[in-house]
Amino acid sequence: MSFPPVSIRPLIAPFFVLLWSTGFVVARYAMPYSEPATFTALRFFGVLVVMVPLALLARISWPTPRQRFHIAVSGVLFQAVYLYCLWKAIRLGMGAGLVALIVGLQPVLTAVAASLLGERTTLRQWLGLGVGFAGVSLVVWDRMHLDGVPLVGLGLCAVSLVAITTGTLYQKRFCPKFDLRAGSVLQFSASLLVVLPIALLSETRQISWNLPMSGALVWSILVLSIGATSLLFVLLRQGGATQVSSLMYLTPATTAILAWLLFDEPLTPLMVTGMIITALGVASVAGRPPVAAAASPAP
């Protein structure tokens, strides 16, 4: 008896959301024991330790110099700027709920920018983006407060939001397809060159090595930077920037479920309602593929 082949493509999006959502869990584990730039520099170096030998042993075909430049630029936006600013904001006292809400604006910002660049966004998708953001707001509502929020933290969240939005659109426009092994080496090498001077010049670089810190670092390297990021790039190849960015709406809800399971944090009826509304909004955005004029690479 033979079974029909099972396609893994429908599983990529939910698996990506699950992995990506563990980033806030990792931050909770690691942040008390390491400064942001120091941790991200170790994370990027760890990715290179894994990926450089794999790329060399596989004798992959490296991109052209022009493509390498575009891949490096998108990597700096995706990795160095986005992650450092986000972790620094949390380090300065920004609540996870407020951070999630600010970064949760990314799908809307991406849709606006993508429309200006020629990617068609339907009315159904615009409505879905609005419904999705409303759902995210409900998920983080109980944990969102402005008391004592540092202005620098708000500014860092805004920079992080712009960085990941710009990185998404830049990669979709200039380098949508490349060997993931080569891309990892190029993007994380460029990102390391950005965050390492920050760590050397502005941080003590002191690390409290213990099980939570070590586990968070290994997870960040293998699961987040290599696994989740590779899945994100696969999704960008297959869909429009607006569709892919809408998946970020599901991150706060998934993180809330993980926090409930791992840290026994409360999961309120309001949060559950927000999760359902968010899922409906994302389903509306992803239901019909847009005409992605921005998807063709630059000559």
DSSP 175-201: -S---HHHHHHHHHHHHHHHHHHHHHH
3-state SS string for 214-228: HHHHHHHHHHHHHHH
What single-letter DSSP state applies at residue 4? P
Helix (H) or strand (E) holding 85: helix 82-91
Which pLDDT score, from 0 to 100, does residue 28 have?
Answer: 74
Which pLDDT score, from 0 to 100, does residue 9 have?
Answer: 58
Separation of alpha carbons 106 and 103, rounded Å? 6
Which pLDDT score, from 0 to 100, does residue 233 have?
Answer: 79
Which pLDDT score, from 0 to 100, does residue 295 have?
Answer: 32
Which pLDDT score, from 0 to 100, does residue 245 have?
Answer: 66
Of 82, 226, 50, 104, which Cα lies nearest the Cα of 234?
226
Residue pair 297/237 in contact by the 8 Å Cβ criterion: no
Residue corresponding to tokens 């893994």:
8
> What are 186-189's contacts with CB under 8 Å, separation 24+?
186/63, 186/68, 186/71, 186/72, 186/75, 187/71, 187/72, 187/74, 187/75, 187/76, 187/78, 187/79, 188/44, 188/47, 188/48, 188/51, 188/75, 188/79, 188/225, 189/48, 189/72
Which pLDDT score, from 0 to 100, does residue 293 have?
Answer: 31
Separation of alpha carbons 33 and 47, rounded Å? 20
Beta bridge partners, 119, equal 292
Q: What string of pLDDT tens digits covers the 299 residues of the chain?
A: 333 433 445 678 888 888 888 887 787 778 789 999 999 999 999 999 999 999 999 888 889 999 999 999 999 998 999 999 988 888 887 766 667 767 777 777 777 776 666 667 677 766 777 777 777 777 766 666 656 666 788 888 889 888 988 888 888 888 878 888 999 999 999 999 999 999 999 999 999 999 989 999 999 999 999 998 888 878 877 766 666 666 777 777 777 787 778 767 777 787 778 777 877 777 776 654 433 333 322 33
Q: How far from 237 is each of 12, 20, 171, 245, CA to CA, in Å?
A: 12, 18, 10, 13
Separation of alpha carbons 237 and 19, rounded Å? 19
Angle value at C-alpha 254, between 248 and 36, nearest 5 degrees:
70
User: Residue 294: how many CA atoms within 13 Å on its side-chain side?
Assistant: 25
User: What sign results for the dihedral spanned by CA atoms 159, 219, 55, 178?
Assistant: negative
Name 282's Cβ contacts closer than 8 Å, sequence gap at least 6. 128, 132, 246, 247, 249, 250
